[in-house]
A and B are shown apart, each in its own frame.
Chain A
Amino acid sequence: MNITSPLYRDGFSETGTSYYLLPFRFAKIDSCSYCLINELGDYYFVSLEELNDLVEKRLTSKDALYRELRTKHFIVDDTTQGLLDSYITKLRTKKIFITGFTKLHMIVPTLRCNHSCPYCQVSRVSVDKQRYDMNNETAKNTINMILRTPTPHITVEIQGGEPLLNFPIIQYIIEYLDDNKEKFNKHIEFVVCTNLSAISDDMLTFFKCHNVSISSSLDGPAFLHDANRPKEKRDSHALFCENLKRARDVLGPNGVAVLMTTTRESLSYAKEIIDEYLRLDFKSIFLRPLNPYGAAVKTGEHIGYTMEEFLIFYKKAFEYILALNMSGTDFQEVFAKMILTKILTPFNTSFVDCQSPSGAGIGAALYNYDGNVYPADEARMLAETGDYSFCLGNVNKNSFEEIFFGSVMQDIAAVSCNESLAGCSSCAFQPICGSDPINNYATQGYVLGHRFDNDRCKKHMEISKYLLSYLKQKNMAVMNVFSSWVSDGTVRHLEIARECQSS
């Protein structure tokens, strides 16, 4: 073939030196490196000298660093100005959890329980049904309130107490919602949080029939689990294992998820706890500290510990989990997975307590047995200790608008964006963290909180830093583990709808 046209022209590379900084923050990760993190959660490691060159505008388009930072949306120049539209789309994708309003609806059909766990925030071992059970009228009004939420995709989580002690109300709620979801154009996921001790075959059949999944509790091997979760007979662990098998037989191998609560006793048994999870075929664990609410605070001296102690436990457990993964056992740590998803993917997560704006009320709402509505589980725990600061209203007395747009909700919303909170707005980890006004209030006495001696803050910052130091090493085997954690088969569409489609 005879080609007469010029073979190729040069002159496409830029030689400019003028660029603008896009919003980013940074943190010192170790003695020689800083991590830059932008609004999208993209990260890049630089030296102090490079950081200075960047902000003093001494980089030129010929520099490799300039090109990397431009690609990762830390700087913009004439060449890439036209791509700012895509930056907007990416930011919208990160914040898509706001659209559609409240997605997680928690219902407490009873406060009664057959356990007496020292760390429990709310439950009562009581036979007084009249006082602590949700009645039909309240259940009906709760359902109607939930159906008012604009989003088509909702999760209904039945909590307690031990909710199975008031099974007729669970039946009523789930049957009504499941049978009417098409009429209301909703897709509803059901979760029941139970210790499984009172589960009957009829209940399991009902759950199977309505596609309900179970969330339960497992604190570790028998000696630890039974110490943490006292029952009249010390048989909580044995009963759990037996009922887990029954539940899986009916609901399938993934029908039961579990949560772990870390007590002072747990701190010495990181490996044993994880081995117990593996033994019982669980694919993940959520390493979380005690909630600073309710009974947990009162008994803190016996079962509590400092955040520093928790972080040592966390890292020990995390390293063990990482080693397991690298030797071929797939097992995830849920908190790390959440942070990594924010850093390594263009998406966000559905964790309502790690979002900005905070998920309180906007992302989640809790309907208590007495009809009171709270913006979070933690808010009702405060109420159980006598502090009703965050009560949004009552389903039997107030309208949807009064509850979700009333003065309590307005006050929470005003402090729920960490972009504008002192101490958060300049924190490198702001885009991968969230605000939690109710936690601030519970631990520090006011919703704004004080960052520098805030345990939640300490935990988020330390674990974020810890994970970033792994990312900095760029170890292929570790990166492969992290990649697998953030890609769990959920549908991942970039949210690029021209406008919010909720109505």
Chain B
Amino acid sequence: MSELLIPLTTTGVPFNLIEPIVAKCSRTGIKDVSERKDYVFVLANDSGQHHDLQGYGAVLTDVSLTASKARTDMASLPGVHSLKVANHVSDGDIVVMYPSGFVRTLYRVNSKNNVIFSTDRCNSNCVMCSQPPKKIDDSYLVEQNLKMISLIDPKPEFIGISGGEPTLLKDDLFRIMSALKVHLPNTFVNMLTNGRMFFYSDFADKYAAVEHPRFRAAIPLYSDIPDEHDFVVQSKGAFVQTMRGLYNLGELGQPIEIRVVLHKLTYRRLPQLAEFIYKNLPFAAHIAFMGMEIMGYVKKNLDLLWIDPVDYQEELYQAVAYLNAHEMNVSIYNHQLCVLKKVLWPFSRKSISDFKNIYLDECANCNVLEKCGGLFKSAHTIHSKYIKAISS
């Protein structure tokens, strides 16, 4: 029962496209010409008939422009034609079009899982990284993201910031945070960061000075033992930096979340880690224990990392029960209910982003599918041996 997942990228043939353009999609058209500047008119299943394209910022079409040379309406606009697919975007989605003809969806109006992708760079190199860092200059993403934020409408309840490591943007991160504060003041923002930059108190001070009212840093902690954490993130001294970063944020009253990815290197000390978190970081607003995504480095390090989730249930149970008993707000992400102890079900969240959330054929007969966290798309390659439909 694999679901059809929505594509987030497509390619075609560019025209008049000199630099990347970030624009909001309209498939139905905008009446008022003066409001069309920020929009790209998207022609899916383009029949070839002429449209009134005056004033639009760009155009996307899934037909070949050479096959319809009479399309003088498009001649003066930048855009991409011959797109492999164009009907995946909805009115209000925000895309970026590159001069290469590559079109990426940055923001989907119908999704609750929108993420601002900050950078591919990172100062850690975690053994289970699902999106391994790249040493590249992708600073151009900053302006794109700022433009995207200004276009978001209607305002969503939630938006994420991810990477790479967003704090490597330094002052540009604060520009993004300020833009979020101005344009989306009521949107809750969760930023995935390793927290190491907050070790530097001047950085933490600037971060707090943005005074975004609904901003949370989600920071991973993999062990209560410094060198075990350092090994997981492949960076010596990272544990101390992250811990001090967490304290700097706590001191400034900044909300934090602790994230623990579960794998063979982290599961044994989960009960001790839970106690460490409560005793040292009782100000954490939320703690999430996360199932591992079989992507990126995980595929290469599978022997080092893979453990069937069924085999860490006792440790996970002890950690969650302890934190819950001490009034910490705790969740389990990315797990299938059939592999979780039943007492842990209330803590399970449907956390996998819609565009990569799947279920298996076995799941078709399951009665608790509605509540189940499901699987990552990548779980096709490897998943728990104990996945089975639950009948009651």
Q: Which residues of A come within 8 Å of B, CB atoms?
A: 1, 3, 5, 7-14, 42, 67-68, 70-71, 79-80, 82-83, 85-86, 89-90, 345-347, 480, 483-484, 486-487, 489, 492-494, 496-498
16 contacts between A and B (CB under 8 A): A1-B295, A1-B299, A3-B296, A8-B301, A12-B234, A70-B225, A71-B272, A80-B226, A82-B244, A89-B251, A90-B279, A347-B282, A492-B282, A494-B281, A494-B282, A496-B250
Would you call B174 an interface residue if the criterion is a C-beta within 8 Å of the partner chain's C-beta atoms? no
Of the listed stretches B34-42, B85-93, B322-330, B357-365, chain A binds B322-330
**With the chains together, A82 CA to B245 CA distance in Å?**
11
20 new A-B contacts, CB < 8 A, other than A71-B276, A484-B325, are: A1-B295, A3-B132, A5-B132, A7-B300, A7-B304, A10-B231, A12-B230, A12-B231, A13-B231, A42-B279, A70-B225, A80-B226, A82-B241, A86-B280, A90-B279, A492-B327, A493-B282, A494-B282, A496-B247, A496-B251
Given contacts A71-B225, A86-B243, A480-B325, is CB(A494)–CB(B250) below 8 Å? yes
Are B301 and A7 in contact, with the CB atoms below 8 A? yes
Would you call B227 an interface residue if the criterion is a C-beta within 8 Å of the partner chain's C-beta atoms? yes
Contacts of A484 in B (CB 8 A): 325
**With the chains together, A496 CA to B249 CA distance in Å?**
10
Would you call B207 an interface residue if the criterion is a C-beta within 8 Å of the partner chain's C-beta atoms? no
Other-chain contact of A345, B230, B304, B326 (Cβ < 8 Å): B326
Would you call B261 an interface residue if the criterion is a C-beta within 8 Å of the partner chain's C-beta atoms? no
**With the chains together, A5 CA to B225 CA distance in Å?**
26
Contacts of A492 in B (CB 8 A): 282, 327
Are B231 and A7 in contact, with the CB atoms below 8 A? no
Are A346 and B240 in contact, with the CB atoms below 8 A? no
- Which interface class (under 10, 10 to 19, 20 to 34, 35 or more) fits B? 35 or more
Given contacts A5-B125, A83-B244, A86-B244, is CB(A487)–CB(B227) below 8 Å? no
Are B240 and A83 in contact, with the CB atoms below 8 A? yes
Q: Chain B nearest CB: distance from A241 CB in Å?
A: 34
Contacts of A70 in B (CB 8 A): 225-226
**With the chains together, A71 CA to B237 CA distance in Å?**
15
Chain A residue with Cβ nearest B235 = A12
Are A346 and B282 in contact, with the CB atoms below 8 A? yes
Chain A residue with Cβ nearest B272 = A71
Given contacts A8-B301, A9-B234, A71-B225, is CB(A496)–CB(B296) below 8 Å? no
Q: Chain B nearest CB: distance from A56 CB in Å?
A: 23
Are B326 and A494 in contact, with the CB atoms below 8 A? no
Are B132 and A346 in contact, with the CB atoms below 8 A? no
Are A1 and B296 in contact, with the CB atoms below 8 A? yes
B interface, over-half SS? helix
- List CB contacts (< 8 Å) of B37-81 with chain A: none
Would you call B103 an interface residue if the criterion is a C-beta within 8 Å of the partner chain's C-beta atoms? no
**With the chains together, A321 CA to B250 CA distance in Å?**
38
Given contacts A86-B243, A489-B327, is CB(A7)–CB(B297) below 8 Å? yes
Would you call B198 an interface residue if the criterion is a C-beta within 8 Å of the partner chain's C-beta atoms? no
Contacts of B172 in A (CB 8 A): none
Would you call B283 an interface residue if the criterion is a C-beta within 8 Å of the partner chain's C-beta atoms? yes
A-B contacts at CB below 8 angstroms, number: 97
**With the chains together, A9 CA to B234 CA distance in Å?**
7
Would you call B224 an interface residue if the criterion is a C-beta within 8 Å of the partner chain's C-beta atoms? yes
Other-chain contact of B325, A83, A346, A487, A498 (Cβ < 8 Å): A487
Contacts of B251 in A (CB 8 A): 89, 496-498
Given contacts A86-B247, A487-B326, is CB(A8)–CB(B283) below 8 Å? no
**With the chains together, A498 CA to B125 CA distance in Å?**
33
Contacts of A71 in B (CB 8 A): 224-225, 272, 276
Other-chain contact of A346, B226, B279, B296 (Cβ < 8 Å): B279
Would you call B127 an interface residue if the criterion is a C-beta within 8 Å of the partner chain's C-beta atoms? yes
Contacts of A483 in B (CB 8 A): 322, 325-326
Q: Chain B nearest CB: distance from A478 CB in Å?
A: 12
Contacts of A10 in B (CB 8 A): 231
Chain B residue with Cβ nearest A498 = B251
Q: Chain A nearest CB: distance from B204 CB in Å?
A: 12
Contacts of B244 in A (CB 8 A): 82-83, 85-86
Would you call B236 an interface residue if the criterion is a C-beta within 8 Å of the partner chain's C-beta atoms? yes
Contacts of B230 in A (CB 8 A): 12
Chain B residue with Cβ nearest A11 = B236
Contacts of A82 in B (CB 8 A): 237, 240-241, 244
**With the chains together, A346 CA to B283 CA distance in Å?**
11
The residue in A7, A11, A498 that gathers the most chain B C-beta atoms within 10 A of its C-beta is A7
Contacts of A8 in B (CB 8 A): 127, 231, 234, 301, 304
- List CB contacts (< 8 Å) of B137-190 with chain A: none
**With the chains together, A7 CA to B325 CA distance in Å?**
38
Contacts of B279 in A (CB 8 A): 42, 90, 345-346
**With the chains together, A345 CA to B280 CA distance in Å?**
10
10 A-B pairs with the lowest CB-CB distances in the bound complex, closest first:
A483-B325, A82-B240, A12-B231, A12-B230, A496-B251, A494-B283, A487-B327, A12-B227, A13-B227, A8-B127
Q: Chain B nearest CB: distance from A328 CB in Å?
A: 16
Contacts of B295 in A (CB 8 A): 1
Contacts of B127 in A (CB 8 A): 7-8
Would you call B278 an interface residue if the criterion is a C-beta within 8 Å of the partner chain's C-beta atoms? yes
**With the chains together, A483 CA to B283 CA distance in Å?**
18
Q: Chain B nearest CB: distance from A11 CB in Å?
A: 8
**With the chains together, A354 CA to B231 CA distance in Å?**
43
Are B132 and A79 in contact, with the CB atoms below 8 A? no
Q: Chain A nearest CB: distance from B331 CB in Å?
A: 18
Given contacts A7-B297, A346-B279, is CB(A12)–CB(B243) below 8 Å? no
Other-chain contact of B280, A7, A12, A90, A489 (Cβ < 8 Å): A90
Chain A residue with Cβ nearest B125 = A5
**With the chains together, A1 CA to B297 CA distance in Å?**
9
Contacts of B225 in A (CB 8 A): 67, 70-71
Q: Chain A nearest CB: distance from B247 CB in Å?
A: 5
Q: Chain B nearest CB: distance from A483 CB in Å?
A: 4
Given contacts A79-B226, A79-B240, A484-B325, is CB(A89)–CB(B132) below 8 Å? no
Are B283 and A496 in contact, with the CB atoms below 8 A? yes
Contacts of A85 in B (CB 8 A): 244, 247
Contacts of B322 in A (CB 8 A): 483
Are A493 and B325 in contact, with the CB atoms below 8 A? no
Given contacts A345-B326, A480-B325, A496-B250, is CB(A12)–CB(B236) below 8 Å? yes
**With the chains together, A326 CA to B227 CA distance in Å?**
39
Q: Chain A nearest CB: distance from B20 CB in Å?
A: 24
The residue in A8, A9, A494 that gathers the most chain B C-beta atoms within 10 A of its C-beta is A8
Contacts of A487 in B (CB 8 A): 325-327
Contacts of A9 in B (CB 8 A): 234
**With the chains together, A484 CA to B127 CA distance in Å?**
37
**With the chains together, A55 CA to B250 CA distance in Å?**
34
